Amino acid sequence: MTRVETKSVLIWGLAWGLVEATLGSWLHLVPGLAGFFMFPIAFFFMRQVFLDTDRPTAVFFTAAIAAGIKLGNLALPHLHLAIVLNPALAILLESLSVMTFFALRRPIRQRITFVSLFGLALGARALYLACLAIIPFSPGYANIWQAGLPGLWRFIFPDSLVNALLIYYFLEFSCAGEKQGFYRRLLLPWS
């Protein structure tokens, strides 16, 4: 990666990590609420770094930085270990899904459909569920697998639908700002 691409990964990773460590921590206090908003927010950061670098791998590096910052929440005494580790794991797994999505949908500037976004959200959640299925349950913290069929259903379908809708409307809304280079000038004035 070039210096500008590396700076883009660092800046977007730091910004995403700070949002995860602050807003994400607050949203995780209400069960299920973080799932509605954090993946669409994460998509914003991953898309921006991909637009800046045109490298799917940059998405994962950005997520690694964000997950590392999220792990800083382990220093807070009132949080259960799983409340920090599960979102950090989700950040990395979501980045793998989005990285694959962008790699398969080159060039990124082509129109992204709602159906493809719904598939992306379903894929990210399926990957997360698969990882949680092999990770032992943490004592004192409810794993999504313990929620039973209704909890799994909500996690997979309605939450994915909300994620896809939020991302879709974000993309529709941001087209004018993107054409003007608003986000790039905001966080990457040197490029």
If DSSP codes are grouped into helix, strand and coil, which group holds residue 138?
A: coil
Give φ, ψ of 79 to 5 degrees: -95, 135
> Which of 105, 118, 116 has the alpha carbon at shortest distance from 164?
118
Reading phi first (left if > 0) and then psi (alpha if -120 to 50, else beta), residue 152 is in alpha
pLDDT of residue 125: 94
Give Cβ neighbours of residue 101 (< 8 Å, ≥ 6 apart). 116, 120, 123
What pLDDT sits at residue 157?
Answer: 93
Q: CA quadruple 39, 45, 50, 51: dihedral positive or negative? A: positive
Q: Is 188 exposed, middle or buried (0-12, 13-18, 19+ CB in 10 A)?
A: middle
Task: Parse the chain into domains and list their residue ranges.
Answer: 3-187
The confidence score (pLDDT) of residue 181 equals 52
CB atoms within 10 A of CB 142: 12
Contact in structure between 90 and 128 (CB atoms under 8 Å): yes
Q: What is the pLDDT of residue 190?
A: 45
Contact predicate 9/49, CB 8 Å: yes
pLDDT at 139: 55
State the pTM of this model: 0.86
Kindly list the distances between the CA atom of residue 86 and the CA atoms of 10, 18, 66, 91, in Å, as whole numbers in the listed order: 22, 16, 13, 9
- State the pLDDT at residue 154: 86
Question: What tokens does 76 get?
Answer: 């807070």
- 8 A C-beta contact, residue 9 and residue 61: yes
Q: What confidence score (pLDDT) does residue 88 get?
A: 94
Nearest-CA neighbor of 162 among 59, 32, 60? 32
Rounded to 5°, the CA angle 41-50-131 comes to 60
Which segments in the chain show pLDDT lower than 70? 107-110, 136-143, 175-191
